[in-house]
Structure 1
């Protein structure tokens, strides 16, 4: 399916201030960026870089005193395989590729080590595989309230278990932490998300499992607010600290981001199949 995505970000600073942005759609097998444009008003020189390990696309600028606006538009085609969830299993620890092990360890916002007992008691008896990770997502959806303002930039997965409220970022962090605690590598995904209302940057996660085509990454959204087959990836990382859409090094004021994504008007309801986003 083909999607049109856009974002507009406005900032104001009083002194020269470095910014790093991560708002551009990534390019990888299954996600093709057909057209795109990036504009900055007033014009400010930028330095671009693509992270080799993840494909995350960053650009840096030094904002002069005053205000500036960043506008990004892209046409993106997604062609992720859909698989029967019952055929997607976990990969034994001794068979995990070494390059995914970093997504099995605890990270700043995903303290899987502190949540291992909770995860094992709640989900350890379930058959390992896609359905167990889905059960984690179902528990989060049913037991954590989606509430704007209930969390902040310091809220971790451990905090969310206690507070039982948060936004997509917190839902994703908790899903990642519990999935890792069950021995399954998981990583954070920032994205444009189709059918998300209201439109905004969205957070989901991917778990490393194995299906009919072999080991790979599968998409999960504990919020159940977006169509999984319409998630346009911006960045991946161990948690949100690695894929913030804006990182500034100084004092600034900002406008509410304007984000949109448009897809097919005649598309069927959101899929219930397993969405495989990337091979091992």
Structure 2
């Protein structure tokens, strides 16, 4: 639940409370600022509350000017996001993606086309998929939730030679409010935000974790028996500008 600490966003203030009180351990993982916490508790009721005020660092660019980065110019730390992963079988979708998007103009517009296709071909259906559902499974089912839409789009991007990675976080103006899964594609030397569900404006995305897919940044990993009795998630924007306009499709939003 803790907001990531990285160059994309600055934490102004935050609080993490556990009732009854038990010690929590922050486990910084990897170079992207992910901050999972570890907590061990005996049987009984437990309430966890987290809140944060965050300043987002985003830059805008004309989407028409954003090109794809040639393979030989990709930084070494980006190459891993071209490979297939647990939920994103990009190797199995190579011919499928090539048939759909191989003739399109490379760049931001091609990733947008992948998002558009995903949005048009899949039905957003709560509860339709589970924790083991992969991108190929979703394409067969023709339905899924936010993480499934992201996994499909990531897989198709990677199949086209575009590095892509999964982002778990909070989304301003998401309705109904919940945790959200979206993704980034590496274009023209930087990461750009995308959301194939079109449920929230990318300018209001707050990162919790970034990884190859949802396996790297699960919102919780439980060892033992636990039952969720109630959950409430919300994200409110303190500034209302063009970045929070979901129809602002001509502007590419990147991480500063």
| TM-based fold match above 0.5 | yes
Contact 1:200–1:257 (8 Å) recurs in 2: no
Provide the aligned length of Structure 1 versus Structure 2. Answer: 252
Q: Does 1:167 align with 2:181?
A: no
* Structure with more strand by fraction: 1
Instruction: String of CA shifts for 1:91-115, please: whole Å, max 9, x gaps.
Output: 1111111111111100010000011
Map of 1:236 onto structure 2 = 210
Shift of 1:86: 0.9
Residue 156 (structure 2) aligned to one of 172, 178, 181: 178
Change beyond 3 A, Cα 1:45–1:208: same
Shift of 1:260: 0.6
State the distance in 2 between where 1:195 and 1:223 align.
13
* Structure with more helix by fraction: 2
Shift of 1:225: 0.4
Map of 2:15 onto structure 1 = 37
Map of 2:237 onto structure 1 = 263
Shift of 1:257: 2.3
Shift of 1:265: 6.5
| TM-score, scaled to structure 1 | 0.87
Change beyond 3 A, Cα 1:36–1:81: same
State the distance in 1 between where 2:215 and 2:30 align.
18
| TM-score, scaled to structure 2 | 0.95
State the distance in 2 between where 1:219 and 1:96 align.
18
Map of 2:107 onto structure 1 = 129
Shift of 1:27: 2.1
Q: Which runs of structure 2 are paired with 1:1-280 in the superposition (5 Å)?
A: 23-210=1-188, 215-264=189-238, 266-268=240-242, 269-270=245-246, 271-272=248-249, 273-278=251-256
Shift of 1:54: 1.5
Give the 3-state SS of the residue equivalent to 2:132 in structure 1: coil
Shift of 1:266: 4.3
Q: Give every structure 1 segment of 4 or more consecutive aligned residues whose post-TM-superposition deviation is greater than 3 Å.
A: 264-268
State the distance in 2 between where 1:265 and 1:48 align.
30
Give the 3-state SS of the residue equivalent to 2:147 in structure 1: helix
In the alignment, structure 2 segments of 5+ residues that lack a partner are: none
State the distance in 1 between where 2:54 and 2:35 align.
15
Give the 3-state SS of the residue equivalent to 2:92 in structure 1: coil
Change beyond 3 A, Cα 1:93–1:151: same
In the alignment, structure 1 segments of 5+ residues that lack a partner are: 1-22
